[in-house]
Structure 1
Amino acid sequence: MLIAQITDLHVRPRGRPAYRVAETTMLTARALDALAALHPRPDVVLVTGDLVDRGLPEEYAVLRSLLGRLPIPVFVVPGNHDRRGPLREGLPAAWLPGADGEFVHYVVDDWPVRLIGLDTVVPGADHGGLCEARLAFLEAALAAGLSRPTVVFMHHPPFACGMAAMDRIRLFDGEARFRALIEAHGTVERVLCGHHHRPIQTRYAGTLALVAPGVAHQVALDLASEREDLLVLEPPAFQLHRYAPETGLVTHMAYVERFPGPYPFAADPASS
């Protein structure tokens, strides 16, 4: 099974860049073209939040037209830039199956790896949280999985990464209980996140927690200061998670841009 993870699309109405510099709609389209051209083609695409930039109905209409071109099943969860109402109204129900309650969370059981999508949005805030209702959903979903390998995908990372600006807006509310639930279920192969716009990974609760880079703009790497986050137009990328019973889940990062090559590893002629 091959799982593609894209994140932080920040789609805007066509012709209107995000933050005046990031042509997020164009960059998202390029990322989706690169993803669709992969061989082998992914079995599913997970979109880990900040699907659009302002939570506007017209943004979700653009997003629907972009993601709708993919010949691959798509599953989405919201980020802090999303709004649940316009998201539900603007996107196909198949992209958030069974998420018809207050929160956009659900389980997908159709592949060798179970997929649990979590809603970590705190309305009006940039940081994330999991209330008792969402933690109860997660507990029941994990318990129902028995011994099957599982991926939990969500927007806000549950760990500190050392970038002060991003650590101020990570998952806070309910994090201790979330950690305990993940640790209690050894079948969780990955906790997949977005939000930080950088490739970041750490051991977490007996598994690996990963942050995928954005498919549009990135956040400038800063491990030294307390300044607010700044965006940078580093190469966009996404992650591929390949599952096989003999290896478990193995993660690769794939760049959207095309670069020179590939070239054979041909040795230079021996000098005389």
Structure 2
Amino acid sequence: MLLLAQISDLHLDGTERATERATRVMEHLRALPRPVDTLLVTGDIADHGTPEEYAEATRILKAPFPVLTCPGNHDVRAPYERELGPGNQVHHFGEVAVLMCDVTLEGEDEGHLSPETAAWIDRTLGALAPGTRALIAFHQPPVALHHPLPDAHRLTNPGDLAALLDAHPEVIAVLTGHAHTAAASVFAGRPLLVSPAVTWTLRMPWEGDRPADREQPPGLAYHLLDDEGRLTTHFRVIP
């Protein structure tokens, strides 16, 4: 059984509020009776993309388990990579591969699967040992979530991603952030699981006119992958 935690959208900006919320989540994870096997952080780690924000992220995210990151639309590639490493990285946990992918467009809120990242995903999946299962994580969801805010800024070329997944049945799920709401859908025949945000929670249209609920506590997702290849997700808030 592989146990992964996922958080997203920390938006660290040097304020006490952002620091406290991210610290609260990490203290919760570090205190678990059974440690997670890894933590995925799916973008918008910094709010302005400054070196100082990434230095704070490195400090807050320090943990006794691997912490894997990918950038979001608020992140800036050069300082992100200097502090956190390349946006495209693969990590292996036994017979499971986790691909953290950079689909950001500098200066834009939308995501885009670039030819370079698509080729890297294709090569990486093609090189996996037979029987290896894979999870792909990036920031912007490739499907509509039925709120005008995230739906206006999702992945712009989902067809290219779908074609890639069709060629690689070893991918069992897609994990994203960006929407600031816990959500589950389907993409290219796989589960699409959207992490809640640390910074604030998205109100859906039927919940009120103001999109940002800043009073909700930060959230996270737990993904459990069992030996039969079944993925189960539990969402939590951290009061």
Normalised by the shorter chain, which TM-score bucket? over 0.9
CA shift for structure 1 position 231: 4.3
For 2:114, the aligned partner's letter is: C
Q: Write out per-residue CA displacement over residues 40-86 of structure 1, whole angstroms, 9 at most, x where no aligned residue.
A: 11011110000011001111111111112x11111110000001111
> Relative to 1, partners in 2 of residues 1:112 and 1:233: Cα closer, same or farther, differing over 3 Å?
farther
| TM-score normalised by structure 2 residue count | 0.92
- What residue in structure 2 maps to residue 218 of structure 1? 201
> Relative to 1, partners in 2 of residues 1:224 and 1:12: Cα closer, same or farther, differing over 3 Å?
closer
Q: Write out per-residue CA displacement over residues 207-243 of structure 1, whole angstroms, 9 at most, x where no aligned residue.
A: 1011110122112222699x88434322321011112
2-structure distance, mates of 1:120, 1:233: 30
Q: Secondary structure at the match of 1:29?
A: helix
Residue 169 of structure 2 is aligned to residue 151 of structure 1 = no
1:46-65 aligned at under 5 Å gives the runs 46-65=40-59
Q: Is the 8 A contact 1:52 1:81 kept in 2?
A: yes
> Relative to 1, partners in 2 of residues 1:243 and 1:79: Cα closer, same or farther, differing over 3 Å?
same
Q: Is the 8 A contact 1:9 1:24 kept in 2?
A: yes
For 2:234, the aligned partner's letter is: H
Q: Write out per-residue CA displacement over residues 167-219 of structure 1, whole angstroms, 9 at most, x where no aligned residue.
A: 010010x3211011113322212100000000111111111011110122112
- What residue in structure 2 maps to residue 208 of structure 1? 191
1-structure distance, mates of 2:64, 2:11: 22
Over the matched positions of the two proteins, sequence identity in percent amounts to 32
For 2:42, the aligned partner's letter is: T
- What residue in structure 2 maps to residue 239 of structure 1? 221
Q: Is the 8 A contact 1:162 1:223 kept in 2?
A: no
Q: Secondary structure at the match of 1:213?
A: coil
2-structure distance, mates of 1:45, 1:112: 17
Residue 194 of structure 2 is aligned to residue 193 of structure 1 = no
Larger radius of gyration: 1
Structure 1 residues not aligned, in runs of 5+ = 18-22, 258-272
1-structure distance, mates of 2:97, 2:164: 16
For 1:9, the aligned partner's letter is: L
2-structure distance, mates of 1:224, 1:27: 23
CA shift for structure 1 position 251: 1.1
Q: CA RMSD in A?
A: 1.9
- What residue in structure 2 maps to residue 71 of structure 1? 64
Residue 232 of structure 2 is aligned to residue 250 of structure 1 = yes
2-structure distance, mates of 1:228, 1:124: 25
1:159-198 aligned at under 5 Å gives the runs 159-172=143-156, 174-198=157-181
> Relative to 1, partners in 2 of residues 1:112 and 1:255: Cα closer, same or farther, differing over 3 Å?
farther
- What residue in structure 2 maps to residue 28 of structure 1? 22
For 1:139, the aligned partner's letter is: D
Q: Secondary structure at the match of 2:205?
A: coil
Count residues with an aligned counterpart. 237
2-structure distance, mates of 1:245, 1:148: 12
For 1:233, the aligned partner's letter is: E
For 1:193, the aligned partner's letter is: T
